[in-house]
């Protein structure tokens, strides 16, 4: 895993050459955490291109793996972040076709370069299995190519900035690299704040800054001096994969499906265990991470290193379950119980880690478990992706039956029902959920019911889904002077023909929530401590097979993720796994009423909000007062506001009174 940064389009002025190189060094220096082992630079002053790289050595630790790397012919220069898991197979294919160069080392970077030379960019990307973002300079065409992996595991930002002679095209793994370039304009995109309030993140292709974009997953972009606007092409589509699977469904039995999944996922795990450095896995004790660890241990001659963190608040603590799974599988397990002080101590670092406001509070434990893992390993596998592929989220389980029940009820009556639900305080509902017997037990029932009450006014199943994934259903009531841009959930909605309502939700999560929230969270948290995180469930063969399975195979007999469960039961007793789904979160709602109250109050100070001018002060203050009152838990609505305020504070001098939160 590495980091890249660079810029294109500067003038060939001999007197500026030292400043150009200094700027490139500053850009790569800002992402040294992504690659602490080495840095590298390549500049062509005449062509106006500067490529920089930070290296975290994983495969081929020698200088033969250093970047930016030149292809065997000298035509291409590559700065690349990621891993190509099938690179040995690609080398073999090049050899069979008599297109292999004289290999200098055994890095996947050299393999990818050779594939670009042999087959061209698009064909090479279609053959490559991995996670990656790259900048490729074509010396022959004097063109820059930027590319990103199929599902968005690795990030890539880009955009033209500056005016006149200062104008330059900037690109990099993280926004902090772009910020130090003298052309960077540092203008907040007010419209993007609307998306932040709705989703808790700024989805691709937007970013928090005007003029800076995120390259969408599964695409590559080409530009040159003659054609300066990036031309984006799609080489792989998650939506097309979903539609193709639904149109040509798996015809075997459910048990046969489990056998095939075991083979495909086992091979994916084996490929992703390839490393020349110590390797381990995150283990929460849930279905997805336990399955990955079980398949790792089955292929390892020594105990796999596994890591989990625990909280003393029982409803948030999964460490006890992870410990039981680790004991059964025989892993070398490390766990750490963290206090509220430990967790809140991460909050001041969040703007630096995430670069733009990001409001999934599980970013805190994700960082903590990444830091724990990095104390012993350099690579860690995770179980992300299982919910989106196999129907694991609660909203899938309940939304279809809920809509079938809601649709016949007149809209006014549904509104009254919503009012009745919210009349009972969140804490009272939570006590009811915790008291339910056995498998009926429902963690944080009140939080879910209060959030769901607002969707009772929905007019369709798709509108119901949009309500479920909206932290603020009316972000215009929070953000001043902005218009919500179109996204894949609104004006740019993809063609989902052939998918039923639940499958549409899963497909939309696969192209929005997964890359823009889950994978961002894991990438930034792990790379902040120089840890490479890998996601075997997102292997393209596993993804394609999952989408070929009928929905009745995924949600079967009242169970979600049925194929994954059956695969896991071959390795771990059912009794260790069957329990209510828990989110990987922290009790932010309670903390905001307790040890974090002063911190929140300072960030939401009325004078400060009016001075900044981004938010409607009265609406923000009303939500804050309602949450503090205790009758409603608004942590999910307040967290994006607080993360925006924390981020704004990090961009300028500290705001008077906005102290770092202290635990009681």
- What is the DSSP track for 367-395? HHHHHHHHTT-SEEE--TTHHHHHT-SHH
pLDDT reading at 456 higher than 60 = yes
The H-or-E segment that residue 199 falls in is: helix 190-199
Q: Percentage helix, strand, coil, to 5, in the chain?
A: 50, 15, 35
Question: Which pLDDT belongs to residue 243?
Answer: 97
Segment of 5-19, 209-223, 416-430 carrying the highest mean pLDDT: 209-223
Question: Which pLDDT belongs to residue 653?
Answer: 41
Alpha-carbon span 629 to 201, nearest angstrom: 27
Tokens of 648: 């704004």
Beta-strand runs (E) in 524-578: 532-534
Q: Please tell me whether residue 133 adopts helix, strand or coil conformation.
A: strand
Position 479 confidence tier, pLDDT thresholds 50, 70, 90: very high
Domain 239-390+507-576 has CATH 3.40.50.620: yes
Per-residue burial over 292-316, b if 16 or more Cβ lie within 10 Å, else e, is: bbbbbbeeeeeebbbbbbbbeeeeb
Q: Is 481 left (phi over 0), alpha (psi -120 to 50) or beta?
A: left
Which residue do the tokens 């499906």 mark?
257
Contact 392, 561 (CB under 8 A): yes
Question: Which pLDDT belongs to residue 332?
Answer: 97
HEC sequence for 463-532: HHHHHHCCCCCCHHHCECCCCCCCCCCCCCCCCCCCCCHHHHHHHHHHHCHHHHHHHHHHHHHHHCCCCE
Compute the radius of gyration of the chain from its Cα atoms: 25
Alpha-carbon span 490 to 29, nearest angstrom: 38
**Domain 2-186 in CATH: superfamily?**
Aminohydrolase, N-terminal nucleophile (Ntn) domain (3.60.20.10)
Question: Which pLDDT belongs to residue 324?
Answer: 95
Contact 355, 643 (CB under 8 A): no
Listed by start position, the domains of the chain span 2-186, 239-390+507-576, 394-500, 588-651
- Residue 207 is classified by DSSP as -
pTM value surpassing 0.75: yes
Contact 169, 159 (CB under 8 A): yes
Position 451 confidence tier, pLDDT thresholds 50, 70, 90: low
Contact 469, 183 (CB under 8 A): no
Alpha-carbon span 285 to 310, nearest angstrom: 11
Express each pLDDT in 11-67 by its tens digit: 767 668 899 999 999 999 999 999 998 899 999 999 999 999 998 877 766 777 789
Beta-strand runs (E) in 162-289: 168-172, 213-214, 219-224, 231-234, 279-282
pLDDT reading at 2 higher than 90 = no
Q: What is the mean pLDDT of the chain?
A: 90
* Annotated active-site residue in 2, 31, 287, 514: 2
Question: Which pLDDT belongs to residue 443?
Answer: 59
Express each pLDDT in 109-166 by its tens digit: 999 999 999 999 999 999 999 999 999 999 999 999 999 999 999 999 999 999 888 8
Q: Is 2 in the active site?
A: yes
CA dihedral in degrees (242, 243, 248, 251; nearest 10)? 40
Question: Which pLDDT belongs to residue 464?
Answer: 82
Express each pLDDT in 223-280 by its tens digit: 999 999 999 999 999 999 999 999 999 999 999 999 999 999 999 999 999 888 899 9
Q: Rounded to the nearest 5°, which phi and psi values hold at 622?
A: -65, -45
356 or 428: which leads in pLDDT: 356
Q: How far is C-alpha 200 from the chain's CA centre? A: 12
Tokens of 526: 């792990």
Alpha-carbon span 156 to 175, nearest angstrom: 9
Position 578 confidence tier, pLDDT thresholds 50, 70, 90: confident
Position 632 confidence tier, pLDDT thresholds 50, 70, 90: confident
Alpha-carbon span 130 to 152, nearest angstrom: 11
Position 586 confidence tier, pLDDT thresholds 50, 70, 90: confident
Q: How far is C-alpha 326 from the chain's CA centre? A: 26
pLDDT reading at 440 higher than 60 = no
pLDDT reading at 417 higher than 90 = no
Position 656 confidence tier, pLDDT thresholds 50, 70, 90: very low
Contact 294, 571 (CB under 8 A): yes
- Residue 273 is classified by DSSP as T
Question: Which pLDDT belongs to residue 654?
Answer: 36
Express each pLDDT in 549-574 by its tens digit: 999 999 998 889 999 999 999 999 99
Question: Which pLDDT belongs to residue 415?
Answer: 72
Contact 246, 549 (CB under 8 A): no
Alpha-carbon span 361 to 577, nearest angstrom: 24
Neighbours of 106 (CB within 10 A): 16
Express each pLDDT in 278-332 by its tens digit: 999 999 999 999 999 999 999 999 999 999 998 876 666 788 899 999 999 999 9
Question: Which pLDDT belongs to residue 585?
Answer: 67
Q: Please tell me whether residue 126 adopts helix, strand or coil conformation.
A: helix
464 or 294: which leads in pLDDT: 294
pLDDT reading at 436 higher than 50 = yes
Question: Which pLDDT belongs to residue 318?
Answer: 81
Which residue do the tokens 């992504």 mark?
34
- For 13-17, 28-32, 351-355, 496-500, which range has the lowest pLDDT when averaged over its residues? 13-17
Q: How far is C-alpha 182 from the chain's CA centre? A: 29
Question: Which pLDDT belongs to residue 65?
Answer: 78
Alpha-carbon span 532 to 529, nearest angstrom: 9
What percent of the chain clears pLDDT 90, i.e. is strictly above it?
73
Nearest to 307 by CA among 377, 375, 372: 372
Question: Which pLDDT belongs to residue 232?
Answer: 98
């Amino acid at each position: 895993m590495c980091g890249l940064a660079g810029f294109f389009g500067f003038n060939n002025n001999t007197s500026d050459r030292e400043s150009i190189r200094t700027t490139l060094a500053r850009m790569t220096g800002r992402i040294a955490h992504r690659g602490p082992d080495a840095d590298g630079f390549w500049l062509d002053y005449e062509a106006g291109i500067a490529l920089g790289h930070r290296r975290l050595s994983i495969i081929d630790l020698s200088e033969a793996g250093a970047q930016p790397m030149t292809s065997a012919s000298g035509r291409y220069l590559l700065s690349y972040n990621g891993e190509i898991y099938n690179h040995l197979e690609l080398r073999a294919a090049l050899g069979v076709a008599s297109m292999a160069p004289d290999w200098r080392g055994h890095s996947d970077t050299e393999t990818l370069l050779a594939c670009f030379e042999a087959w061209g960019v698009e064909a090479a990307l279609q053959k490559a299995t991995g996670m990656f973002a790259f900048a490729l300079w074509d010396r022959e065409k004097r063109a820059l190519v930027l590319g990103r992996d199929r599902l968005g595991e690795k990030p890539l930002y880009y955009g033209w900035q500056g005016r006149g002679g200062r104008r330059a095209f900037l690109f990099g793994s993280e926004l902090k690299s772009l910020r130090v370039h003298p052309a960077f304009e540092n203008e907040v995109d007010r419209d993007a704040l609307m998306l932040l309030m709705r989703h808790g993140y700024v989805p691709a292709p937007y970013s928090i800054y005007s003029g800076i974009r995120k390259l969408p997953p599964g695409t590559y972009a080409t530009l040159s001096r003659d054609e300066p606007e990036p031309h984006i092409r799609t080489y792989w589509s998650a939506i097309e994969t979903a539609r193709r699977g639904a149109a040509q469904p798996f015809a075997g039995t459910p048990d046969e499906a489990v056998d095939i999944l075991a083979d495909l996922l086992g091979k994916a795990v084996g490929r992703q265990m390839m490393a020349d450095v110590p390797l381990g896995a995150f283990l929460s004790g849930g279905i997805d991470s336990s399955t990955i660890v079980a398949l790792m241990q089955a292929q390892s001659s020594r105990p796999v290193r596994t890591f989990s963190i625990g909280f003393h608040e029982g409803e948030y603590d999964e460490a006890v379950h992870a410990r039981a799974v680790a004991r059964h599988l025989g892993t070398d397990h490390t766990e750490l119980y963290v206090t509220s002080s430990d967790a809140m101590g991460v909050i001041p670092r969040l703007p630096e880690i995430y670069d733009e406001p990001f409001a999934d509070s599980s970013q805190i434990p994700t960082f903590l478990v990444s830091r724990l893992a990095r104390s012993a390993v350099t690579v860690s596998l995770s179980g992300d992706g299982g919910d989106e592929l196999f129907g694991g989220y609660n909203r899938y389980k309940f939304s279809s039956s809920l809509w079938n029940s809601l649709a016949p009820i007149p809209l006014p009556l549904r509104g009254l029902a919503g009012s009745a639900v919210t009349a009972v305080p969140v804490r009272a509902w939570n006590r009811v959920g915790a008291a339910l017997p056995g498998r009926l037990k429902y963690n944080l029932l009140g939080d879910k019911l209060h959030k769901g009450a607002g969707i009772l006014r929905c007019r369709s199943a798709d509108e119901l889904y949009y309500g479920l994934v909206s932290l603020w259903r009316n972000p215009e009531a929070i953000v001043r002077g902005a218009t919500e841009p179109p996204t894949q959930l609104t004006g740019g909605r993809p063609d989902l023909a052939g998918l039923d309502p639940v499958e549409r939700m899963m497909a939309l999560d696969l192209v929005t929530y997964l890359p823009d929230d889950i994978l961002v969270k894991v990438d930034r948290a792990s790379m902040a401590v120089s840890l490479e995180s890998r996601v075997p469930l997102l292997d393209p063969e596993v993804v394609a097979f999952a989408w070929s399975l009928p929905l009745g195979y995924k949600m079967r007999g009242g169970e979600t993720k049925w194929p994954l469960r059956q695969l896991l039961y071959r390795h771990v007793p059912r009794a260790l796994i069957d329990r209510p789904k828990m989110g990987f979160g922290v009790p932010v709602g309670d903390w905001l009423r307790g040890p974090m109250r002063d911190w929140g109050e300072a960030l939401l100070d009325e004078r400060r909000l009016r001075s900044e001018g981004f938010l409607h002060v009265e609406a923000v203050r009303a939500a804050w007062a309602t949450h503090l009152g205790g009758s409603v838990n608004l942590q999910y609505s307040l967290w994006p506001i607080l993360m925006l305020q924390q981020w704004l504070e990090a961009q300028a001098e500290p705001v008077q009174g906005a102290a770092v939160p202290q635990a009681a």
